[in-house]
Chains A and B, each alone.
Chain A
Amino acid sequence: MENISEIDELTTEKKYSRSSLYKDAWRRLRRNKLAMLGLAIVIILILIAIFAPLIAPYDPIERIKKDSSLSPGKAYFFGTDLLGRDIFSRVIYGSRISIEVGIVAVGISVVIGLFFGALSGYFGGISDIAIMRMADIFFAFPYILGAIAIMTVLGPGIVNIFIAIGILGWASFARIFRGSILSIKNKEYIEAARALGANNYRIITKHIFPNSMAPIIVYATMNVGVAIIVEAALSFLGLGVQPPTPSWGKMLAESLDYIDIAPWMMLFPGLAIVITVLGFVLLGDGLRDAFDPKLK
């Protein structure tokens, strides 16, 4: 056990530079106005999702018959749909689905991706070949078709959306993680750790993980935006969240038949998606520049 502390001592220099990597990144991120805008959008959205019942003036499911298909005005900021539901409240509640799907689905992708990426990059050999061929198949597979097929099998519902989007996204994370492992694997401090007798598990969790997280964080942030769009697309096609739960994609699908008489029905959910995705994309871009200023 003495060895272990020795190893960690040997690599403290690295740790120091790592913590300063994150500190530097944060400092650069704070100076980046667009990234801060993205962060603000993301935080506000999460707050809206959490406090939806306090913000929404109406019940998102309740139908107020006499007030159906009203255009935006004082009583209903975003108007009402044909069933007399308040679109503003539905958009507010819709943020819950989007944020949940974005975060949980990408979380699943990251976990699967890291697992296979580690297997592939660290151990190499047959597991590497097999996993990378599997990743090729996932890349060759049209993303949205895959999501549709999985949803057809699993049936609609939010948990199934998590699974479908989560499963489809793993390959990119595996590739990124494999790449950074390969580049770190032969660095001196890893060899030093190995020479001092650290086992694989320890090397991966203590040394490789912390040093290769930057690209994963960047890609995951951007991917949350993608996941939100895919959820909207699935709900738009009728495979996602089932009515009456408000989802932005579903609201757009419902508006499709009333483009001419109630165009506001499609305007606001669409804007909500754009702003949300924009928040994650700006934050992701900012993180990328912050972690690697050379890439800008």
Chain B
Amino acid sequence: MFFYIIKRILQVIPVIIGVTLILFLLMYVIPEDPARLILQKGATEEALQNLRVKMGIDKPLYVQYWRYMTQLAKGDLGTSYRYRRPVDSILADHYPNSIKLAIAAILIEIIIGLVAGIISAVKKYSFWDILVTVSTTLAVCIPVFWLGMMMQVVFGLKLGWLPMSGMGDGSLRYYILPAVTLASVSTAFVARMTRSSMLEVMSNDYITTAYAKGLSQFKVIGKHALKNALIPVVTLIGLDLGALMGGAILTETVFSWPGVGRTIYLAILQRDAPVVIGGTLVLVLIFVFINLIVDVTYAWLDPRIRYEKKEVNV
């Protein structure tokens, strides 16, 4: 297992190189001069040129890229053009807010998604099943930003139950609307995946065996069906955590949430390349890291995989 984890961590390196390269190219192509961004209008051409030399942006792309990567290897994400602050401190300000929101969304996704999926599988074709099927189908079709706006109007404006935007004092009330918005699509996917996975598992012979042993339906589902049915769902949820952080841009925009998605989005609009590249890189790393955790969980859930890996790595 240890070697497997090491191997997986090493596999991350080409992904990092690929992602930074793509971002570097993209930001390099943008016809905007970072020096002009930093110095206000009216700066002399000489001052601009001095700054360019100082920043190294007068050099060709590959030199810049090499410089960035060597700095990155030392753990330095560079300095924001716009704010003249180290990128890591900007990200440190915003990442916690995004992570908290993502965790809130994941909790909603796991609790509501799993429960809805299990109920609709166990009570196939019942009223609850139809309700779950209809609402998950709709949830997938609703653009998150529109859902957010609608909920703002209904729960914030008309009913006045919940704050419409911002983090306020950081209390739970501020999390509800953005978290529900952010979780909507994934919750629907989790519910659907759980349903179909449960249905498939429940048609297996070992479920009949479990009933034949004299187990109650509750135990058959809770012990024998669920663990098997969870295997694909865990992957989905894991993949989602990464997607939720990146996908939070729209939710964060609608709810003015001071998170990293919105920070990166604004940085793109402001051509603030170090923030864009650094912020996205951290997102990708989180995504890849979560993937690794998912794989390890997978091995715990499914002994067959554990076994294969043992063979591969010994």
Contact A140 B268 (CB under 8 A): no
B249 within 8 A of A: yes
A87 within 8 A of B: no
Contact B138 A274 (CB under 8 A): yes
Instruction: Give the CA-CA distance A145 to B15 in the complex, in Å.
Output: 16
Contact A142 B243 (CB under 8 A): yes
Instruction: Give the CA-CA distance A168 to B4 in the complex, in Å.
Output: 30
Instruction: Say whether chain B's binding surface is mostly helix, strand, loop, or mixed.
Output: helix
A44 within 8 A of B: no
A236 within 8 A of B: yes
Contact B280 A142 (CB under 8 A): yes
The distance from the CB of B29 to the nearest CB of chain A, in whole angstroms, is: 5
Q: Which residue, A145, A150, A237, A295, has most C-beta atoms of chain B within 10 A?
A: A145
- Tell me which of B145, B153, B269, B283 contacts A142 (CB under 8 A): B283
Q: A137-B22, A259-B149 are in contact. Are A143 and B246 (CB under 8 A)?
A: yes
Contact B268 A148 (CB under 8 A): yes
Instruction: Give the CA-CA distance A275 to B138 in the complex, in Å.
Output: 9
Scan A260-288; emit 1 where CB is below 8 A from any B CB, else 0. Answer: 10010010001001110110011001000
Q: How many residues of A contact B (CB 8 A)?
A: 39
Instruction: Give the CA-CA distance A133 to B15 in the complex, in Å.
Output: 8
A152 within 8 A of B: yes
Instruction: Say whether chain A's binding surface is mostly helix, strand, loop, or mixed.
Output: helix
The distance from the CB of A260 to the nearest CB of chain B, in whole angstroms, is: 6
Scan B75-108; emit 1 where CB is below 8 A from any A CB, else 0. Answer: 0000000000000000000000000000000000
B19 within 8 A of A: yes
8 Å CB contacts to B: which residues of A109-155? 133-134, 136-137, 140-145, 148-150, 152-153
Q: How many residues of B contact A (CB 8 A)?
A: 44
CB-CB nearest in chain B for A148:
B268
Instruction: Give the CA-CA distance A255 to B137 in the complex, in Å.
Output: 26
Contact B157 A141 (CB under 8 A): no
Instruction: Give the CA-CA distance A137 to B253 in the complex, in Å.
Output: 26
Contact B26 A150 (CB under 8 A): yes
Contact B14 A133 (CB under 8 A): yes
A-B contact pairs, 30 of them (CB 8 A): A134-B18, A137-B19, A141-B280, A142-B245, A143-B247, A144-B246, A144-B249, A145-B280, A149-B268, A149-B276, A150-B26, A153-B29, A153-B30, A232-B143, A236-B143, A237-B249, A237-B253, A252-B143, A260-B157, A266-B146, A270-B150, A274-B141, A274-B143, A275-B141, A277-B141, A278-B138, A281-B140, A281-B141, A282-B137, A295-B196
Contact B268 A233 (CB under 8 A): no
Instruction: Give the CA-CA distance A273 to B145 in the complex, in Å.
Output: 12
CB-CB nearest in chain B for A276:
B141
Instruction: Give the CA-CA distance A261 to B207 in the complex, in Å.
Output: 57
Contact B265 A259 (CB under 8 A): no
Q: A145-B249, A237-B265 are in contact. Are A252 and B145 (CB under 8 A)?
A: yes
The distance from the CB of B256 to the nearest CB of chain A, in whole angstroms, is: 11
Given contacts A140-B242, A145-B261, 5 further A-B pairs with CB under 8 A are A148-B268, A152-B271, A236-B143, A237-B265, A274-B142
8 Å CB contacts to A: which residues of B219-266? 242-243, 245-247, 249-250, 253-254, 261, 264-265
CB neighbours of A153 from chain B (8 A): 26, 29-30
Q: A133-B18, A256-B149 are in contact. Are A152 and B247 (CB under 8 A)?
A: no
CB neighbours of A275 from chain B (8 A): 141
A193 within 8 A of B: no
The distance from the CB of B227 to the nearest CB of chain A, in whole angstroms, is: 22
Instruction: Give the CA-CA distance A259 to B253 in the complex, in Å.
Output: 15
Instruction: Give the CA-CA distance A237 to B250 in the complex, in Å.
Output: 8
